[in-house]
Amino acid sequence: MASDPGFEGIVDIEHEDDEEPKEPEMYRVLMHNDHYTTMEFVVGVLRSIFHKPLLEATRIMMDVHRKGLGMVGVYTYDIAATKVAQVKEKAREYEYPLLCTIERV
């Protein structure tokens, strides 16, 4: 190793080129139907927490209502878990049993 001024004592470490960075695992956020949470509240949650436009939020809400389950989006684990916690907090605040879960893609 050539001697550069100011870099004495620094060791050159070889890096393994065969290790490429891994893509983060992705998770679906799912919203579940219940018989108490209002459709308006679900649309409001989809708009405020997930930043969905009105038409998309309404479509997801109708999937939840008709099919019993609706996919809200796909996120990394930390983002998905944070959004689920926000939904839970908002539902508790308004005394709704709205259930939101995550599953690995």
| Edge-to-edge strand ranges of the sheet holding 26-32 | 69-76, 26-32, 99-104
Domain boundaries, the chain: 36-104
**Whether CATH 3.30.70.580 fits 36-104:** no
Which among 31, 33, 37 has a CA at the least distance from the CA of 80? 31
Q: How confident is the model at residue 13 (pLDDT cuts 50, 70, 90)?
A: low
* pTM summary value: 0.80
pLDDT tens by residue, 63-75: 999 999 999 999 9
